[in-house]
Amino acid sequence: MSFVAQFNALPLDALIKRSVTAGADAVRENLTGPESAALLRQWGEEEKKEVLDAHPAIGAPATSTRSAREQGTDDDPQVLAELAELNRAYEEKFGFRFVVFVNRRPRRAIVPVLRERLERTREQELETGVGELVKIALDRFNDRAESSDPWRNS
């Protein structure tokens, strides 16, 4: 049985949980479709918090080449210091990590997003953060699917 067939045979909630507890990017990248968003929203608060806290902090050093590419190259010390302070305030207020689909924007473009989201309720942020994780996963999946498409460069 191929990897894809094995992957598709696994229950989606098991894949998501495995990606969080084992830190398996390959699994997290394969969360696709509206069913993943619906499933994530069915989880309890602790499960949502766990999956958000497994994501690297915005502005922290990139954990992979792909992560560095996604987060851009904005290494301005003032921007990084501001992101670190805003991340701290966010985690203090909400009790979980700030997650946003950066979508290759420079880090300085995330500062106003983080400031705006600090004004929201915990419930709003829990749902928004989970939704952002799904966007990240879908983008990575689509990126990987495009790079492995044999017809792409034809």
Element (H, E) at 95: none
Report the candidate in 117, 54, 105, 52 with the shortest Cα–Cα distance to residue 79: 105
Stretch 92-120: mean pLDDT: 94
Q: What is the pLDDT of residues 48-61, one digit of tens each?
A: 888 888 888 888 77
Residue 93 lies in a domain: yes
- Per the structure, the count of domains in the chain is 1
Q: What is the pLDDT of residues 134-149, one digit of tens each?
A: 787 777 766 665 665 5
Residue 154 lies in a domain: no
Residue 110's Cβ-side half-sphere holds a number of Cα atoms within 13 Å equal to 29
Contact 107, 83 (CB under 8 A): yes
How deeply is 5 buried, as exposed, middle or buried, from its count of CB atoms within 10 A (0-12, 13-18, 19+)? exposed
Stretch 75-101: mean pLDDT: 95
Residue 88: per-residue pLDDT: 97
Residue 107: give the domain boundaries: 3-147
Query: Mean pLDDT for the chain?
Result: 74
Residue 152 lies in a domain: no
Residue type for position 3: F
pLDDT at 73 over 70: no
Report the candidate in 118, 56, 114 with the shortest Cα–Cα distance to residue 82: 114
Residue 24 lies in a domain: yes
Stretch 23-50: mean pLDDT: 61
- What token pair was written down for 50? 């766990």
Contact 79, 108 (CB under 8 A): yes
Stretch 103-108: mean pLDDT: 88
**pTM for this entry:** 0.69
Q: Quickly state the pLDDT bin for 36 (edges 50, 70, 90).
A: low
Residue 153 lies in a domain: no
Contact 100, 55 (CB under 8 A): no
Residue 39 lies in a domain: yes
Least confident of 61-65, 85-89, 111-115: 61-65
Q: Which residues contact 6 (CB under 8 A, 6 or more apart)?
A: none
Q: What is the CATH number of the domain that holds 38?
A: 1.10.3330.10
- What token pair was written down for 103? 């979508």
Residue 63 lies in a domain: yes
